[in-house]
């Protein structure tokens, strides 16, 4: 095999390996497209809905907001003097942007020690577990996307204290998540998956 052919082959192998299942679906504005492209995602969302009662469209909209469906999503770096990196803004990671401590609590309480934040079925199950706790602790119905998102962002105690009320930007984001959930719900009702 010629040297240039070997180089081309190597580039093709790297290109096919690098995207993999870590790359987000192509059309994030269409729930049916996501479902067709990633049937394992819909399988995970449905499993979470059966187990925890959190509707598929609520999970999908929350994951969109938290990570744009990037398995390895992280928060931005903090900088000193605008140029010196000083770590991340938080420990949030993966599809669900779960914080280290909350993820560890989920693992302990569910017995899922091997669960990973960059695996969709685990991230979806985490989200169901967390939103179920929001229902138990704060009375937020699993289909109430807006308030579930506020509790997801602020934590159960922060939500109970109403910390989100002083954050107009967060209230706007929660409204956006709610609108996306409604869009996804309509789309999922009309597609065959």
Residue 14 confidence (pLDDT) above 50: no
Torsion of CA 175, 179, 182, 187, to 10 degrees: -160
Decide: helix, strand or coil at residue 30.
coil
For all residues of the chain together, what is the average pLDDT?
Answer: 87
Read off the pLDDT band of 10 (50, 70, 90): very low
Structural contact between residues 37 and 26, judged by C-beta atoms closer than 8 angstroms: yes
pLDDT of 55: 98
Q: How many CB atoms lie within 10 A of CB 55?
A: 21
What's the pLDDT band for 85 if we cut at 50, 70, 90? low
pLDDT at position 34 is 97
Report whether pLDDT(87) > 60. no
Q: Which of 15-29, 107-121, 170-184 has the lowest mean pLDDT?
A: 15-29
Q: Are 150 and 159 in contact (CB under 8 A)?
A: yes
Q: What is the pLDDT of residue 93?
A: 84
Instruction: Enumerate residues 6+ apart whose C-beta is below 8 A from 80.
Output: 86
CA distance 66 to 177: 10
pLDDT of residue 22: 72
CB atoms within 10 A of CB 48: 25
Return the ∠ at Cα 111 (arms to 107 and 117), rounded to 5°: 35
Condensed to tens digits (0 to 9), the pLDDT of residues 60-70 reads: 999 999 999 99
The pLDDT score that the predictor gives to residue 73 is 73
**Span 153-162, pLDDT tens digits:** 999 999 999 9
The yes-or-no verdict on residue 81 having pLDDT over 70 is no
């Amino acid at each position: 095999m010629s040297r240039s052919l070997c180089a081309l082959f190597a580039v093709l192998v790297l290109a096919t390996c690098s995207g993999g299942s870590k790359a987000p679906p192509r059309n994030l504005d269409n729930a049916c497209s996501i479902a067709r492209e990633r049937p394992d995602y819909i399988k995970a969302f449905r499993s979470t809905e059966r187990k925890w009662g959190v509707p598929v469209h609520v999970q999908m909209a929350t994951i969109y907001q938290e990570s744009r469906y990037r398995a390895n999503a992280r928060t931005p770096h903090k900088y000193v003097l605008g140029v010196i990196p000083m770590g991340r803004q938080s420990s949030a990671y993966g599809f669900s942007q779960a914080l280290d401590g909350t993820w560890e609590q989920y693992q302990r309480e569910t017995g899922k020690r091997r669960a990973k934040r960059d695996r969709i079925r685990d991230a979806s199950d985490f989200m169901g577990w967390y939103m179920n706790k929001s229902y138990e602790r704060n009375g937020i119905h699993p289909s109430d996307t807006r308030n579930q998102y506020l509790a997801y962002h602020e934590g159960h105690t922060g939500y109970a204290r109403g910390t989100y009320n002083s954050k107009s930007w967060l209230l706007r984001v929660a409204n956006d998540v709610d609108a996306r959930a409604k869009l996804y719900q309509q789309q999922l009702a009309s597609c065959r998956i």
